[in-house]
Chain A
Amino acid sequence: MDRRRFLKYAGCAACALGAEHLLHGSGAAAAEAYGALDPAARLKLADMALTLAKGAGAGYADVRVGRSQAEFIRAREHRIEKFDAEIRVGFGVRVLIDGSWGFAGSEVIDEGEVRRAVALAADNAKAARLIQATPIVLEDVPAYQEDWVMPLGRDPFTVPASDKAEKLVAINEAALKAGADYCTAFFWFVREETLFASSRGSRIAQTRVRSYPRFEATAVDKQSGRFATRASLLAPRGAGWDYVEAQDLLGEATLAAQQAREKLAAKPVAPGKYDLVIDPTNLWLTIHESVGHATELDRALGWEANFAGTSFATPDKLGTLRYGSPLMNITADRSQPGGLATVAFDHDGVRCAGAEFPIIAEGIFRNYQMAIGQAALIGGARSNGCAYAESPTAFPIQRMANVSLEPNPQQTSLEDLFAGVDDGIYVVGEGSWSIDQQRYNFQFGGQLFYEIKNGKRGAMLRDVAYQGRTPDFWNAMDGLGDASTRFVGGTFMCGKGQPAQSAPVSHGAVPARFRQINVLNTERRDI
């Protein structure tokens, strides 16, 4: 599509652009083959890199060639302050030589750069050998020839810029009309196209799209000097513009503004132990941090000890650790429609479509999430398809699948959960979040907090955060909503690795009730 649009706009623009010694001109064969990066060019580039890698002595090699497209549009009050559209291309070559990985990637695409990158990857593998006491061994992965395209409603990149801008400004104006002093809103759209090719014969093309609508309303009390914010409860999804349009953005903005103002006058929470009913708009992030990350095998093996951390869920606890109450069933999948981690194959070329697996079953720790080269280290056979690299120029590492809390098979509403609480707090929306490097001690804020008194939701509270220790917290869960209460939250920006990489991931959740959880008042009166 770019190429057509380019021609429409610019004709033979590259010739006019000049700077011939720096840029690839349109008349050159290199640009025809690589610059446009159409599917045929991607395959040609990948084949060339794999041939070179074999010649460099790689026992295994894979190549990812990709093109990503992104739009980020942000409105502040009545105006659009940022409208950025990005197209990035790149490739990465990974070789395994004598038991050591070597990787190189580049955003410059031509034959010379491919040769340079393969040579650098081979050099890196040789360099790594210096500190490779134990050779890396990979399990067999079948070869696939597939072209997977995520089902998509309306492609957000075909929606006119003016429509997106007007909708964002309308969100802000709805919030301002409803009492907010300030409001900032954004849309963020991403398309990822990746060709994965391996020396084992796989040629896998995948395309997916994700969309993230979000806003935050602020209310200020100039007399007291207090201010309060209320962010939207909207989730990012593996979906298109139709998902954005299906949200009641103006209704949500109106409500958010009213609630931001209500927060200014809300009752400060008295710290102590409370029964909590946690809305799925908040609980998805608790699942992400305390279960999703804690059950990544690379962490448990110590590979992330220097940055993201390790895990309390060590391999010796697999199959025996009582992670939570028997109500707790957590499933990993890369298949659910709309999931941000939904793909047919991971970035190791492992098929993951339809291959969901339990992480926690009836409260017991059952499975890790894995990339290739890891399963054998804990006596397993093969990866379960959880590798991802944020771009073609990044090394694929183990990343999170969609990790979801299964609904209660018994009919249970949110009100049913309230009914079992004499003195508690209902927590809605994600707020401040933080967890330690072994995923024990966490502390989460939220957007909205309400008293629960004698089984009913009561007045709004402010300055609430709940703090817990992962296994204690999940073992304190004694109530769970049914499928009708399910909500899928998620993030575009889960961070891990050195150099740091971002990954998109979704989490299905239902409201859940937790007994006697530590609650703090976050306000500091002495400052």
Chain B
Amino acid sequence: MILSPGDAREITDRLLARSKADACIVKLEGNDGANLRFARGNATTNGAISKLSARVESHFGKRAGAAEASGRDAEALADAVARSEEIARLAPENPELMPPLGPQAYEAGAGYDAATAAVRTDRLAAEAKPAIAAAQDRNVDTAGYATAQQSFTAVATSAGLFAHEPRTAAEFTMTARNRAGTWSGWAGVGETRFGRLDMMRIGARAIDKGAHDAAPVALDPGKYTVILEPSAVGDLVGWMLWYMGARFADEGRSFFARKGGGNRIGEKLFADAVTIVSEPADVVAPEPTFDDEGLPRRRTVWVEAGVLKNLEYPRFWAQKTGHAAIPRPRGFVMAGGSASVDDMVRDTKRGVLVTRFWYIRMLDPQKLVLTGLTRDGNFLIEDGRIVGPANNFRFNESPVAVLANVLALGPSERTRGGENEDSLAAAPTLLVKDFTFSSRSDAI
């Protein structure tokens, strides 16, 4: 359920008025969305989902507690205020508890599109149908997912803050597998605006990748030159950003810790071409304009020309260390270049083009080494041309090494990650040397 700023404020005002605590933070969240799934050319599941919840955090001195209730039942919401106070009274003191924020100034966000908010399942089905039909024409099986949703977040505090932001999101992903199950291709994009999703084009891309009957070339594990498409790049960079907390670095338990104390802000860690930014006003991958506490998100440069420029500073750690508070990144844009995939293929003597990754997990936080697998579109490149499908691999590799080994970048574009359906990233295709494939995967 979506509440306008006025309606949201009416509820947060009432809840704050009920508060008996020293300080109180109320957060409202709601969403309305439609989704549609299909497989083997048939609809499987779908849904029209409406959610609404209120989270109330109460402070008594340095004691804090929070309670959340869904729906819009007045008693349930009032009960959340009372429960949060009960917890806060019984909780031990937290010396690091920060008081609620007062009024803030926010950048104009670019994360909402009224047309997207109006999309229903019938529209999803109508736009997916031609892509499914095209797959049948090319004799491949399809499985896919389409969704469009709107949401809002409102944060209000007893210190006078009120913030409200509407957001929209849309997505189409499709997998195309040959009938024998011996090869598979995928394409997918997440967007703020449904109108930017071209399902037919995404579907055609998945079909082009998947419609191969030749057995994949069997490659041995080892170091390869790779062309990583934006989905794969977005996943690796997203994992790295998740581990970019200043506190862990300062405490000596992060790749971004400096040996002997402190962190590595200011060090050149990556190739010159690597710049990574988060920005609410970015039209391709706009971050939300504030975080859970109502702290403004502003344009933040994480990496510029290969140099680490910023880490995440929660409010307490920022105060303790004398930095400005920087919220945890919710989305990012990795700057691109001008190289086309054709250029990269032409410049590759022997390598692998990777469509996307799957099941990425941390293997060694000390060096930020991740493990994961390639999936749905590995292609062997030899002597400047794509030879054909190649087997999938497991990789054990660090995004730090990948971003240090960048040889060329394509234009940055909005991606959809392998696992994280809330990914909010724009990334380029990268040509990278010495990527570590550690074992072969028989999976198709």
- Beyond A2-B79, A124-B36, A523-B366, 5 extra complex contacts between A and B, CB < 8 Å: A22-B11, A123-B121, A124-B34, A306-B173, A437-B358
List 24 A–B pairs whose Cβ atoms lie within 8 Å, in order of A's numbering.
Answer: A10-B75, A23-B77, A25-B74, A81-B94, A85-B83, A87-B69, A101-B43, A107-B71, A108-B50, A130-B129, A161-B91, A162-B92, A165-B91, A225-B257, A301-B40, A305-B141, A305-B184, A306-B175, A307-B145, A309-B375, A314-B181, A434-B373, A436-B441, A441-B441
Q: Give CA–CA (A139, B55) in the complex, Å.
A: 42
- State whether A80 touches B38 (Cβ < 8 A): no
How many residues of chain A get a CB closer than 8 Å to chain B's CBs?
Answer: 118
- State whether A440 touches B443 (Cβ < 8 A): yes
Q: With an 8 A cutoff between CB atoms, is B387 at the interface?
A: no
Q: With an 8 A cutoff between CB atoms, is A128 at the interface?
A: yes
> In the complex, what's the smallest C-beta–C-beta distance from B231 to chain A, in angstroms?
13
- State whether A524 touches B121 (Cβ < 8 A): no
Q: Which of B18, B43, B419 contacts A100 (CB 8 A)?
A: B43
Q: With an 8 A cutoff between CB atoms, is A49 at the interface?
A: no
- State whether A79 touches B95 (Cβ < 8 A): yes
Which of B44, B141, B372 counts the most chain A CB atoms within 10 A? B44
A-side contacts of B126, CB under 8 Å: 127, 130
Q: With an 8 A cutoff between CB atoms, is A483 at the interface?
A: no
- State whether B120 touches A127 (Cβ < 8 A): yes
Q: Taking chain A's interface residues, is the majority helix, strand, or loop, or is none over half, making it mixed?
A: mixed
B-side contacts of A439, CB under 8 Å: 443
Q: With an 8 A cutoff between CB atoms, is B124 at the interface?
A: yes
- State whether A35 touches B75 (Cβ < 8 A): yes
Q: With an 8 A cutoff between CB atoms, is B65 at the interface?
A: yes
> In the complex, what's the smallest C-beta–C-beta distance from A223 to chain B, in angstroms?
8
Which of B48, B55, B442, B444 counts the most chain A CB atoms within 10 A? B48
> In the complex, what's the smallest C-beta–C-beta distance from A9 to chain B, in angstroms?
4
> In the complex, what's the smallest C-beta–C-beta distance from A75 to chain B, in angstroms?
9
Q: Give CA–CA (A113, B83) in the complex, Å.
A: 27
Scan residues 39-86 of chain B and give those whose CB is less than 8 A from a CB of chain A: 39-53, 55, 64-80, 82-84, 86
Q: Give CA–CA (A367, B102) in the complex, Å.
A: 59
B-side contacts of A181, CB under 8 Å: 251-253
Query: Which partner residue on chain B sits nearest A219 by CB separation?
Result: B253
Q: With an 8 A cutoff between CB atoms, is B37 at the interface?
A: yes
* Stretch from B108-116, B332-340, B393-401 contacting the other chain: B393-401
- State whether B65 touches A123 (Cβ < 8 A): no
Which of A10, A107, A126, A161 counts the most chain B CB atoms within 10 A? A107
- State whether B82 touches A395 (Cβ < 8 A): no
Q: Give CA–CA (A84, B41) in the complex, Å.
A: 43
Closest 3 CB pairs of A and B: A14-B74, A35-B73, A9-B82
- State whether A467 touches B438 (Cβ < 8 A): yes
Q: Which of B71, B72, B421 contacts A500 (CB 8 A)?
A: B421
- State whether A523 touches B74 (Cβ < 8 A): no
- State whether B53 touches A3 (Cβ < 8 A): no
Q: A22-B72, A432-B363 are in contact. Are A395 and B371 (CB under 8 A)?
A: no
Scan residues 472-527 of chain A and give those whose CB is less than 8 A from a CB of chain B: 495, 497-500, 518, 520, 522-524, 526-527
Q: With an 8 A cutoff between CB atoms, is B186 at the interface?
A: yes
- State whether A17 touches B53 (Cβ < 8 A): no
B-side contacts of A303, CB under 8 Å: 39-40, 44, 143
Query: Which partner residue on chain A sits nearest B254 by CB separation?
Result: A227
Q: A131-B129, A132-B42 are in contact. Are A107 and B252 (CB under 8 A)?
A: no
Q: Which of A106, A130, A305 contacts B50 (CB 8 A)?
A: A106
Q: Give CA–CA (A60, B289) in the complex, Å.
A: 44
A-side contacts of B261, CB under 8 Å: 222
Q: A107-B53, A432-B362, A441-B373 are in contact. Are A83 and B439 (CB under 8 A)?
A: no
Which of B18, B69, B92 counts the most chain A CB atoms within 10 A? B92
Enumerate chain B interface residues (CB-CB to A < 8 A): 1, 3, 7, 10-11, 14-15, 18, 34-53, 55, 64-80, 82-84, 86-88, 90-96, 120-122, 124-126, 128-129, 132, 141, 143-145, 147, 173-175, 177, 181, 184, 186, 251-253, 257, 259-261, 358-369, 371-373, 375, 392, 394, 396, 398, 400-401, 419, 421, 438-444
Q: With an 8 A cutoff between CB atoms, is A375 at the interface?
A: no
Q: With an 8 A cutoff between CB atoms, is A90 at the interface?
A: yes
Q: B-facing mask of A125-163, CB < 8 A → 1, else 0?
A: 011111111100000000000000000000000001110
Query: Which partner residue on chain A sits nearest B269 by CB separation?
Result: A527
Q: With an 8 A cutoff between CB atoms, is A240 at the interface?
A: no
Q: Give CA–CA (A25, B300) in the complex, Å.
A: 44
> In the complex, what's the smallest C-beta–C-beta distance from A95 to chain B, in angstroms?
11
Q: Give CA–CA (A128, B146) in the complex, Å.
A: 12
Scan residues 198-241 of chain A and give those whose CB is less than 8 A from a CB of chain B: 218, 220, 222-227, 229
Query: Which partner residue on chain A sits nearest B50 by CB separation?
Result: A106
B-side contacts of A305, CB under 8 Å: 39, 141, 143, 175, 177, 184
> In the complex, what's the smallest C-beta–C-beta distance from B79 to chain A, in angstroms?
4
- State whether A101 touches B46 (Cβ < 8 A): yes
Q: A218-B253, A393-B49, A437-B375 are in contact. Are A90 and B42 (CB under 8 A)?
A: no
- State whether B360 touches A434 (Cβ < 8 A): yes
> In the complex, what's the smallest C-beta–C-beta distance from B278 to chain A, in angstroms?
23
> In the complex, what's the smallest C-beta–C-beta distance from A199 to chain B, in angstroms?
19
Q: With an 8 A cutoff between CB atoms, is A338 at the interface?
A: no
Q: Which of B71, B86, B398 contacts A89 (CB 8 A)?
A: B71
Q: With an 8 A cutoff between CB atoms, is A318 at the interface?
A: no
- State whether A133 touches B41 (Cβ < 8 A): yes
Q: Which of A23, A24, A88, A520 contacts B11 (CB 8 A)?
A: A23
Q: A307-B145, A524-B369 are in contact. Are A131 and B42 (CB under 8 A)?
A: yes
B-side contacts of A301, CB under 8 Å: 39-40
- State whether A31 touches B358 (Cβ < 8 A): no
Query: Which partner residue on chain A sits nearest B132 by CB separation?
Result: A131
Q: With an 8 A cutoff between CB atoms, is A188 at the interface?
A: no
> In the complex, what's the smallest C-beta–C-beta distance from A274 to chain B, in angstroms?
15
Q: Give CA–CA (A439, B392) in the complex, Å.
A: 13
Query: Which partner residue on chain A sits nearest B145 by CB separation?
Result: A498
Q: Which of B14, B359, B439, B441 contacts A18 (CB 8 A)?
A: B14
Q: A436-B373, A524-B401 are in contact. Are A80 and B91 (CB under 8 A)?
A: yes
- State whether A441 touches B90 (Cβ < 8 A): no
Q: A13-B74, A161-B65, A309-B443 are in contact. Are A81 and B394 (CB under 8 A)?
A: no
Q: Give CA–CA (A500, B375) in the complex, Å.
A: 19
Q: With an 8 A cutoff between CB atoms, is A19 at the interface?
A: yes
Q: A18-B14, A22-B10, A128-B125 are in contact. Are A10 and B79 (CB under 8 A)?
A: yes
B-side contacts of A16, CB under 8 Å: 18
A-side contacts of B394, CB under 8 Å: 434, 436, 441, 443, 467
- State whether B143 touches A182 (Cβ < 8 A): no
B-side contacts of A406, CB under 8 Å: none
Query: Which partner residue on chain B sits nearest A126 by CB separation?
Result: B122
A-side contacts of B68, CB under 8 Å: 84-88
A-side contacts of B186, CB under 8 Å: 306
Query: Which partner residue on chain A sits nearest B374 by CB separation?
Result: A436
Q: Give CA–CA (A197, B121) in the complex, Å.
A: 25
Q: Which of B14, B77, B125 contacts A131 (CB 8 A)?
A: B125
- State whether B252 touches A120 (Cβ < 8 A): no
- State whether A302 touches B141 (Cβ < 8 A): yes
Query: Which partner residue on chain A sits nearest B255 by CB separation?
Result: A527
Query: Which partner residue on chain A sits nearest B371 by CB separation?
Result: A434
> In the complex, what's the smallest C-beta–C-beta distance from B346 to chain A, in angstroms?
29
- State whether B125 touches A130 (Cβ < 8 A): yes
Q: Give CA–CA (A96, B77) in the complex, Å.
A: 35
Q: A220-B253, A527-B400 are in contact. Are A108 and B72 (CB under 8 A)?
A: yes
A-side contacts of B259, CB under 8 Å: 224-225
Q: Which of B48, B65, B84, B145 contacts A104 (CB 8 A)?
A: B48
> In the complex, what's the smallest C-beta–C-beta distance from A440 to chain B, in angstroms?
5
Q: With an 8 A cutoff between CB atoms, is A413 at the interface?
A: no
A-side contacts of B143, CB under 8 Å: 302-306
> In the complex, what's the smallest C-beta–C-beta distance from B316 to chain A, in angstroms?
9
B-side contacts of A433, CB under 8 Å: 361
> In the complex, what's the smallest C-beta–C-beta distance from A370 to chain B, in angstroms?
14
Q: Which of B50, B92, B129, B364 contacts A522 (CB 8 A)?
A: B364
